[in-house]
């Protein structure tokens, strides 16, 4: 029987990057059978010291293969060189972070003897793996997202089935190979490249999967959530329309540079990219001029060119959509003050829109493209109210030199994290990372994912 393969191409110019074998429906069912058998055989669970050694060794191997891993990630995902370097360095550190968790994240003592009924007892908890994990990943951080999903599962002792984006499967294979080469038995981490969405639906409906980790669009994520088997836990990481507020006393050079980076990094294809900017009317023109200048300095082009700041969107269809949304906003009264030109089938020059109406797509839906919309405000409370519209809630930013303004905005914004004097896309891999409302469910970040992939099992010892 001829095995199907998935051809991987560059989003920049369509050139071939490589091929990877697809996984048949029978092979996917067999993979779950093996993962379930591993978990049920508690005597064969990987000891903690082996998990630590494997994760540390995998980090070393990824570091040794760093140049090849970076090149693959750029060619199949389109993120520019300098940002891909940062991503792979984060992924290497993330595997080390996962190893540290095995030693630092234990259970806790449950107080006893505080009532007559609890006298003479000692109680404590220890962490155990929750069970087989299904990790469904996205294209925009093709190495680091895999580490965020697979690394904590290995640290927790969970067998994991990982399905990367069909656009960036080779980067996922690089991470899985590093784990296997570091000594992880093959069946503890199995790479799936299904040919049909039905195969993933079957896994999501199967009660043997104990935890679903999904990174991707809200439409797909909530659809999977509705079909999950009873008792399955999950973490859903979607996106939002990340707002940034710039008050009249802000450092405008700092704000403009940060908004340009946070809005146009990876062509805006980041779930917490700056999308909506609300600037105080007293400094609106000054800020806009500085933002225009910062955006104009960005070089859009070949992601392998080390001078490139903004690379391609992942598909031509996505570039078509983003271009259509820009046109729609202009037809509805927005002013295009910078960029927005279509430079190639997947390349759009970073665009700045002024005064897009609230009903425009760029105002009420996640753009996931290199577009920043600027609005002016007179009153901080009104700006926060406008920023909270839409049902999305993830990360936000506030630029101000006033502690009062910072604390007021922090309290008023509907967000899981508010960055003061930084853009909304700031992240380190050990901090909590949580989409609220339509933006997701559960808490990401390596230590938090590790905890969600474990249970605290209690022993009560009666003397």
**pLDDT tens digits along 80-119:** 999 999 999 999 999 999 999 999 999 999 999 999 999 9
Residue 177 lies in a domain: yes
- Characterize the bridge pairing of strands 121-129 and 454-462: antiparallel
192 plus 70 within the same structural domain? yes
Are 161 and 127 contained in the same domain?
yes
Among the listed residues 76, 271, 366, 452, the single catalytic one is 271
pTM over 0.85: yes
Verify that 154 and 45 share a domain, yes or no.
Answer: yes
State whether 211 and 268 are in the same domain.
Answer: no
Whether residue 137 lies inside any domain: the answer is yes
pLDDT at 194 over 60: yes
Report whether pLDDT(1) > 60. Answer: no
**Cα–Cα distance between 232 and 418 in angstroms, integer?**
31
d(CA 12, CA 79) in angstroms, rounded, equals: 10
Residue range 69-81, pLDDT digits in tens: 999 999 999 999 9
Same-domain check for residues 322 and 403? yes
User: How many domains, the chain?
Assistant: 2
Q: Establish if 218 belongs to a structural domain.
A: yes
pLDDT in tens, 348-374: 999 999 999 999 999 999 999 999 999
In a domain, 266, yes or no: yes
Is 271 labeled as catalytic in the residue annotation? yes
DSSP codes joined into one string, 120-166: TEEEEEEEEE-S-EEEE--SSSTTHHHHHHHHHHHHHT--EEEE--T
Shared-domain flag, residues 304 and 169: no
| Residue 438 neighbours by CB distance under 10 Å | 19
Q: What is the DSSP letter of 421?
A: T
How far apart CA 103 and CA 42 sit, in angstroms, is 20
Confidence label for 390 from pLDDT (cuts 50, 70 and 90): confident
311 and 404 together in one domain: yes
- Strand-by-strand arrangement of the 233-237 sheet: 189-191, 160-163, 133-136, 211-215, 233-237, 440-441
Put residue 243 in one of left, alpha, beta given phi > 0 → left and psi -120 to 50 → alpha: beta
Residues ≥6 apart with Cβ < 8 Å to 291: 256, 259, 260, 277, 338, 352, 372, 374
pLDDT at 463: 83
Which residue range forms the structural domain that includes residue 118? 5-238+439-462
76, 87, 237, 318: the catalytic one is 237
Q: Are residues 322 and 278 in the same domain?
A: yes
In a domain, 53, yes or no: yes
Are residues 263 and 224 both part of a single domain? no
Same domain for 224 and 331: no
**Is residue 151 within 8 Å of residue 95, measured between CB atoms?**
yes
Q: Does 423 lie in the same domain as 446? A: no
Tens of pLDDT, residue by residue over 281-308, are 999 999 999 999 999 999 999 999 999 9
Render pLDDT for 30-43 as a digit per residue (tens, 0 to 9): 999 999 999 999 99
Q: Is 212 part of any domain?
A: yes
Q: Identify the CATH number of the domain in which residue 405 sits.
A: 3.40.309.10
Report d(CA 332, CA 195) in Å as an integer. Answer: 41
Domain contains 185: yes
Query: Is 237 a known active-site residue?
Result: yes
Establish if 434 belongs to a structural domain: no
Q: Are residues 454 and 423 in the same domain?
A: no
């Amino acid at each position: 029987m001829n095995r199907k393969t998935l051809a991987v191409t560059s989003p920049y110019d369509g050139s071939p990057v490589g091929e990877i074998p697809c996984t048949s429906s029978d092979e996917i069912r067999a993979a779950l059978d093996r993962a379930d058998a591993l978990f049920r055989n508690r005597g064969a669970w990987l000891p903690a010291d082996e998990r630590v050694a494997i994760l540390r060794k995998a980090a070393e191997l990824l570091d040794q293969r760093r140049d090849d891993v970076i090149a693959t990630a750029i060619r199949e995902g389109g993120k520019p060189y300098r940002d891909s370097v940062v991503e792979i360095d984060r992924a290497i550190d993330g595997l080390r972070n996962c190893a540290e968790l095995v030693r630092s994240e234990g259970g806790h003592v449950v107080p006893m003897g505080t009532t007559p009924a609890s006298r003479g007892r000692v109680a404590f908890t220890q962490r155990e793996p929750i069970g087989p994990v299904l990790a469904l990943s996205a294209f925009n951080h093709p190495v680091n997202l895999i580490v965020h999903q697979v690394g904590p599962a290995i640290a927790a002792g969970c067998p994991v089935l990982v399905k990367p984006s069909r656009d960036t499967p080779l980067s996922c294979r690089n991470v899985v190979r590093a784990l296997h080469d570091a000594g992880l038995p093959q069946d503890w981490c199995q790479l799936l490249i299904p040919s049909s969405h039905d195969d993933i639906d079957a896994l999501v409906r199967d009660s043997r999967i104990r935890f679903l980790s999904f990174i991707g669009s809200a439409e797909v994520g909530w659809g999977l959530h509705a079909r999950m088997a009873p008792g399955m836990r999950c973490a859903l990481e979607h996106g939002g329309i990340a707002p940034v507020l710039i008050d009249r006393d802000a450092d405008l050079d700092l704000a403009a540079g940060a908004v340009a980076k946070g809005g146009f990094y990876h062509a805006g294809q980041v779930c917490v990219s700056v999308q909506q900017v609300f600037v105080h009317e007293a400094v609106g023109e000054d800020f806009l001029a500085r933002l225009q200048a910062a955006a104009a300095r960005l070089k859009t082009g070949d992601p392998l060119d080390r001078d490139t700041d903004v690379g391609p969107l992942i598909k031509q269809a996505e570039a078509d959509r983003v271009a259509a949304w820009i046109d729609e906003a202009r037809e509805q009264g927005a002013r295009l003050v910078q960029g927005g030109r279509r430079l190639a089938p997947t390349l759009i020059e970073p665009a700045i829109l002024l005064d897009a109406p609230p009903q425009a797509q760029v105002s009420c839906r996640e753009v996931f493209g290199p577009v920043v919309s600027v609005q002016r405000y007179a009153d901080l409370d009104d700006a926060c109210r406008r920023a909270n519209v839409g049902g999305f809630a993830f990360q936000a930013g506030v630029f101000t030199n006033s502690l009062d303004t910072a604390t007021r905005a922090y309290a008023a914004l509907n967000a899981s994290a508010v960055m003061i004097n930084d853009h909304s896309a700031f992240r380190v891999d050990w901090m909590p990372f949580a989409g609220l409302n339509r933006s997701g469910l559960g808490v990401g970040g390596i230590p938090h994912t590790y905890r969600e992939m474990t249970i605290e099992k209690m022993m009560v010892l009666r003397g």
